[in-house]
Amino acid sequence: MRVETSRPPPAGATVKILVVDDVEANRELVAQDLEDAGYAVRTCADGEECLTVANSWEPDVILLDIQMPVLDGIATCRRLKADPKTRHIPVLFLTATRTDEESVVEGLSVGANDYVPKPYTPAVLLARVATQVTIAQQNAKLREMAMRDELTGLFSRRFLFTSLDQLVDSGERGGERAVATLLIDVDHFKRVNDTLGHLEGDRVLKTVATAIASAIRQSDIVARYGGEEFVVLLPRTGIEGAAAVAEKVRAAIEAQCAPVTASVGAAALSLISEDGTGWRAAGDVVREALSQADAALYEAKAAGRNCVVVSETDD
């Protein structure tokens, strides 16, 4: 006998659940229980479809059958957890056959978060789903805190360097086949701290962050690099585009952030491999471009500050 329940999902935005089972009747039954409880639900009939939908739809929880043809639940879970875009999504195995101790250990070892045996009761299913959603939401808040600089709200340096390949999407090749970087240093910032105090220094840094964000394009990525330095990544941008954005950033800081100005170093490098047959890893290109932008920034400061210097090297 099925016991109905109206247990709601955790409060907040619509919670998305992906149900994966090769048996249509099972998919429909689980989906109905979840929809009745207020969840948004999509279903898949196999592991390959699950991988595609998980990447595009980004569900909050995945309910995954184990016994499926072609790509079973264990292999699907392993691939979900190997993908940076989906590894954080909780996976609950929903199975009637693989509930012995060895199977449970195997499932947990590949990254599953919980097991729900079939036949299930809606109350137990919804309780376990709600628990995973709550944990996932808490983890998302922690990830957001880790990726953001506390003072300015910009991306943090740590997040920047651990996410370069994802931030500079090497799958989108419209426009320039290059990536550019800007390194921005607030001129005479120590003088602000020494004469006006650290609270005023913090205010200045937040104002500079706002000015930079207002001067760049929606596709560009800005992060606090450390201290009074900031970095901007400009995907699909060559050296001429980098120079134009760099000057726009410099002018915005001069206009909006008195009493300070900023010096800017810019560099751009091709994403095409040296032999012209493939693509270079975006993260490697960005690191090289940052090194060149750093040298250009040094020249800008030596030239009197409050100016832009563009690296002459452009692969």
Same domain, 294 and 202: yes
- Give domain status of residue 260, yes or no: yes
Domain end marker among 145, 172, 198: 145
The confidence band for 6, taking pLDDT boundaries of 50, 70 and 90, is very low
Using CA atoms, how far apart are residues 247 and 238, in angstroms rounded to an integer?
A: 15
Residue 12: the pLDDT is 53
Using CA atoms, how far apart are residues 297 and 291, in angstroms rounded to an integer?
A: 10
Same domain, 166 and 103: no
Q: Is the model's pLDDT at 87 over the cut of 70?
A: yes
Looking at per-residue confidence, does 204 or 173 come out higher? 204
CATH of the domain at 304: 3.30.70.270
Same domain, 128 and 205: no
- Give domain status of residue 106, yes or no: yes
Q: Are 132 and 39 in contact (CB under 8 A)?
A: no
DSSP-derived pairing of the beta strands 178-186 and 262-270: antiparallel
Same domain, 231 and 285: yes
Using CA atoms, how far apart are residues 49 and 70, in angstroms rounded to an integer?
A: 11
Residue 169: the pLDDT is 56
Active site residues: 228
The confidence band for 1, taking pLDDT boundaries of 50, 70 and 90, is very low
Same domain, 67 and 207: no
pLDDT tens by residue, 233-275? 998 888 999 999 999 999 999 999 989 999 999 999 888 777 7
The confidence band for 175, taking pLDDT boundaries of 50, 70 and 90, is low
pLDDT tens by residue, 98-121? 667 788 888 889 999 998 888 899
Residue span of the structural domain in which 103 resides: 16-145
For the chain, how many structural domains are there in total? 2
- Give domain status of residue 49, yes or no: yes
Same domain, 237 and 209: yes
Domain end marker among 99, 120, 145: 145
